[in-house]
Amino acid sequence: MPTLRFLTLDVFTDTRYLGNPLGVVRIPHGHPSPPTQEQKQKMAKEFNLSETIFLHENPEAPADTEEEVVKIDIFTVDQELPFAGHPTVGAGYYLHTLRGSRAKSLALMTKAGKIPVRALAGNISALEVPHNVHLHKAEMVSTEMMALFPTVSHSDYHGELPCMPVFSIVKGMTFVLSRLASVEALGRVTPSASLATPRLDAPWDQGLVGCFFYVVVERETIGDMWVWALRSRMVLGLLEDPATGSASCALSAYLALTEGAKRGVLRHKFQLTQGVEMGRTSTVGVEVVLKEGGKDVESLLMSGTAVKVMEGTIEF
């Protein structure tokens, strides 16, 4: 029976048993019986983590190689994703810190496209996030959200007549962005038996739709940049995620394009703390640069670290 080596990482933390767990299954170059997509899905279901990645290893690159591109497949327990935050940060950490690369630069090839990765001080991986951002015409109003999340009252939402924007970071990754008035209100969020079903614009009307709750803890101006500190939670039906890089990027881009752009601020740095209520505190870093005029995203950089927890062999 064919076997593959795997390890698990806790991502967006440097402390084991915090952050967001990730399964990393290594597929060696030239494996005689590489798994099919169907087999990968079964393995991801067996790991039963929010995401599992399958990393297609290359032959060792010569020292003078300009760039190494590593293909990864990202799976939840029931579907393949074009992009997700903590799997790509975890892959970057593994390749840079645990495996090491002799190439001058490193990139991940995902279904959403090529993602350059670089190593920063403190075992932090930073990724240039692929983006095709879109603010949907339809919003969700607080009454719709209260039907899904009855433990959060109308007064817990930020604003007098709160409407929740629906925002996609790429096609297939969409979030209802719900700003709450306080950290106490954030603590009252509980998973919902039903999924949010906002009306999505074509061709972004595909993939998952999560509910991303957040509180703006602080925002300060440093030079020509706004620096934000946020607390957040991401709920998808009955599931809550300890750290959601894709949602963090979506929210950061939305805030930069709305609140930042109308004041002429093009550079933004975000620190999002998520997973506190689950006992799995995670820290996600996002930097957003807008194009001149503030109507489009020039670049999105997501960063975080990870720590190895276990390793072993899986049969398939």
pTM over 0.85: yes
Residue 312 has pLDDT above 80, yes or no: yes
pLDDT tens per residue, range 169-190: 999 899 999 999 999 999 999 9
Number of other residues whose CB lies within 10 A of the CB of residue 35: 19
Q: Which residues form the catalytic set?
A: 51
pLDDT tens per residue, range 207-223: 889 999 999 999 999 99
Residue 63 has pLDDT above 80, yes or no: no
pLDDT tens per residue, range 238-288: 999 999 999 999 999 999 999 998 999 999 999 999 999 999 999 999 999
pLDDT given at position 130: 87
- H or E element at residue 98: none
Query: Minimal CA–CA distance to 304: which of 55, 97, 125?
Result: 125
pLDDT given at position 112: 86
Domains 3-126+305-315 and 134-304 share a fold: yes
Residue 161 has pLDDT above 80, yes or no: no
- Which CATH superfamily hosts domain 134-304? Diaminopimelate Epimerase; Chain A, domain 1 (3.10.310.10)
pLDDT given at position 101: 72
Tokens describing residue 156: 């817990």
Mean pLDDT estimate for the chain: 94
Which CATH number does the domain 3-126+305-315 belong to among 3.40.50.1220, 3.20.20.140, 3.10.310.10, 3.30.450.40?
3.10.310.10
Give the percent of the chain with pLDDT over 70: 99
The domain ranges of the chain are: 3-126+305-315, 134-304
Query: Average pLDDT in the 110-129 region?
Result: 91
Distance of CA 249 to the CA centre of its chain: 7
**CA–CA distance from 314 to each of 14, 41, 71, 86 (Å)?**
26, 13, 20, 22
How many separate helices (H) and strands (E) can be counted in the chain?
A: 5, 20
pLDDT given at position 104: 78
